[in-house]
A and B are shown apart, each in its own frame.
Chain A
Amino acid sequence: MEPNKDQLLKAYRIMKTIREFEARIAKEFEAGTVPGFTHLYMGQEAVATGVCMHLTDADAISSTHRGHGHCIAKGCDVRKMMLELFCKRDGTCKGKGGSMHIADISKGMLGANAIVGAGAPLAVGAALSAKVQKNGNVAVAFGGDGATNQGTVFESMNFAVVLKLPLIFAIENNGYGEHTGIDYHLGSGDLTSRTAAFGMPAVKVDGTDFFAVYEAVGEAVKRARNGEGPSAVECVAERWRGHFEGDPQTYRNLDEIKELQEKKDCLKKFRDVVVTKKKWLKAAELNAIDKEVLELIDSSVEEALAAPPPAPEDLTTDVYTSY
């Protein structure tokens, strides 16, 4: 990445916002203030950020059940997101979507998706839309290692190659498909080569290294915008939390998480590069962002807790555009 200061500050702010958003949701969930199911993105922040830094609002992404990070990186309003997670009337989706269905069409965020692997065909549609309308837009299908075993993802990969669509498969290998480790669930043992077998360029990068993600996805986006078809980037970034909040993670040695937090923290690694090694930024600049982000998260939660829920009459609206 070019050491463009604004871009670096933006990337850090997004990653930090995701981290603190998720950390706070974990606490609130435990306290019982957040209804429903929630799946947190901590540990994978550099992936959403490294991908979405290449996109405009006109580019579309399909997301997953672990979608808060994708929303934030795609530019969704954090306050409205918080309201949505608390299922409040003024949330991004009027409190009708919640954590697993949060979407902001105006930002090209086509929805978190509670069905594993269901987002890829939708991203195919968005990429087809860009191709038909010849508007130069691209689409990104986010999906985990678990999702890559779904037929929908296989179909989408072949489809995108056959129709030469401007699509990027951002595969987030976080080590687990729900509770099942990738060492068990991935038959070939090699996601990138399996993806490449569909006939598209596929590379594997360290998903906790913002710069590695940014660079690889930059190439893929360039190909897509040039009409050269789809690509895939496998980003390895293990998740810090369970599959869902409340998951006791009996399938996992919890020491492994401590090690991830010490050695694979994308925020620490980013700081190390930009402040210590390259001296592109000063620690104080990042510390100032930390403070602003914490204030944003605190005030968002405060606002969300006090906000009104949907009204009873909202139950039956928004089913159809015309009745």
Chain B
Amino acid sequence: MSVKSFRVAINEALDHEMGRDPRVILIGEDIVGGHGGSANNPGAGGGIMGITGGLFQKYGPDRVIDTPISESAIIGSAAGGALTGLRPVAEMMFADFLGVCFDQMFNQAAKFRYMFGGQASTPMVVRCMTGAGFGAAAQHSQALWPIFTHIPGLKVALPSSPYDAKGLLISAIRDDDPVIFMEHKVMYDDEGEVPDEAYTIPLGEANVTREGDDVTVVAFGRMVQFANKVADKLAGEISLDVIDPRTTSPLDTEVILESVAHTGRLVVVDEANPLCSLASEVISRVAEEELGSLLAPPKKITAPHTPVPASPVLEALYVPSQEKIETAVRELMNG
């Protein structure tokens, strides 16, 4: 066990799985270093965020593949490759670019198993950067997990720590269904304890990151960190039960419902836009199953129903904050 960054945790997961299984390949734009491996120092770059650095040198050009800027062909390659014996990990750079190749994700990869009557499995992972906080504005900052969570056949992972990033990615690569793996761009330099060896975290198993009795806070991705900080700040005064679902599909509702049955109060925090969001989904499940336990109406903290603004001032207002979480918690306790 040693302290590693989110970036290194992902690189280690890819390395473990490529070493373990020759069917695992990486494909995407600039993942070698942007030159297909023919320049003097191939693989030095490892993508714009340096995630895949070193893997080209280790596994070679057949397994770490730079592509033209052709998102449909990248995802199609992964999906067609998965149908014919590979376990591709495609990199979509920014999740926003999935808009360019949405058909290959939701009409093709997601539906093969069902459309083909169970004949096919589609073991592929699409890694992509998500989230606001870099000033990258409307087309490079979105939190699009609700869209993919909505599609039957896809699984969606949303790690909130370096430890979870490694364990969830290994599970995603070993899973026989298509998994969208969403990495928050602001978290790549976050550090945490990460074992050197390979380990898995089951998809669909929530993690309780803080245990408490007064308010249940369900948070997604980066928002888990915010919720943890609020829990630590309020410790001794108000005790928060912070739940990180870790995957939005499958969604572990059992842990959420048990917690709400215990606390009677619920705050949901999600960086995604509010309409048809995970925040809506969690509240709807609680309303269906645990309405009688609620001591007050649930609170929903999300981005507003707007695109992500470029202005740092506006962007800071766009992303849910620790202050908003704390305010919601206090309102619930005082209500």
Contacts and interface: CB of A to CB of B under 8 A. Distances in A.
A104 B75 CA distance: 21
A129 B80 contact: yes
Nearest to B80: A125
Given A115-B103, A118-B108, A318 B80 contact: no
A110 B114 contact: no
Given A118-B103, A155-B73, A156-B73, A124 B80 contact: yes
Nearest to A154: B70
Given A118-B103, A121-B76, A129 B117 contact: no
A126 B104 contact: no
A199 B164 CA distance: 44
Contact of A105 (B25, B75, B83, B155): B83
B65 interface: yes
Contacts of B77: 121, 124-125, 128, 159
A130 B250 contact: no
A115 B107 contact: yes
A110 B88 CA distance: 17
A158 interface: yes
Interface stretch (A95-103, A200-208, A297-305): A95-103
A318 to B, nearest CB: 4
Given A62-B80, A125-B79, A152-B76, A93 B86 contact: no
A111 interface: yes
Which of A108, A118, A156, A318 has the most C-beta atoms of chain B within 10 angstroms of its own C-beta?
A318
A105 B116 contact: yes
A103 B119 contact: yes
A132 B223 CA distance: 39
Interface in B69-104: 70, 72-73, 75-86, 88, 103-104
Nearest to B76: A121
Contacts of A115: 103, 107-108
Which of B25, B76, B123, B152 has the most C-beta atoms of chain A within 10 angstroms of its own C-beta?
B76
A151 B36 CA distance: 23
Contacts of A55: none
A191 B103 CA distance: 25
Contacts of B36: 162
Given A105-B119, A132-B25, A320-B155, A96 B80 contact: no
Contacts of B62: 131-132
Give the bracket for the number of chain A residues in contact with chain B.
35 or more
Which of A115, A121, A151 has the most C-beta atoms of chain B within 10 angstroms of its own C-beta?
A121
Contacts of B104: 118, 121-122, 152
Give the bracket for the number of chain B residues in contact with chain A.
35 or more
A127 B73 CA distance: 12
Nearest to B83: A110
Contacts of B79: 121-122, 125
A124 B101 CA distance: 15
A231 interface: no
Contacts of A124: 73, 76-77, 80
Contacts of A321: 113, 121, 123, 175-177
B113 A129 contact: no
B103 A122 contact: no
Contacts of B86: 125, 128-129, 132-133
A162 B36 CA distance: 10
Interface string B118-161: 11110100000000000000000000000000001101000000
A265 B72 CA distance: 37
24 contacts: A96-B116, A101-B111, A101-B115, A103-B116, A105-B119, A110-B84, A111-B112, A115-B107, A118-B103, A120-B76, A121-B72, A122-B104, A125-B77, A126-B84, A128-B27, A128-B86, A129-B84, A129-B85, A132-B62, A155-B68, A155-B70, A156-B73, A163-B65, A321-B175
Interface of A: 60, 62, 91-97, 101, 103-106, 108, 110-111, 113-115, 118, 120-133, 137, 139, 151-152, 155-156, 158-159, 162-163, 317-323
Top 9 A-B pairs ranked by shortest CB distance?
Answer: A121-B76, A125-B80, A94-B117, A93-B117, A122-B80, A321-B176, A155-B70, A318-B118, A129-B84
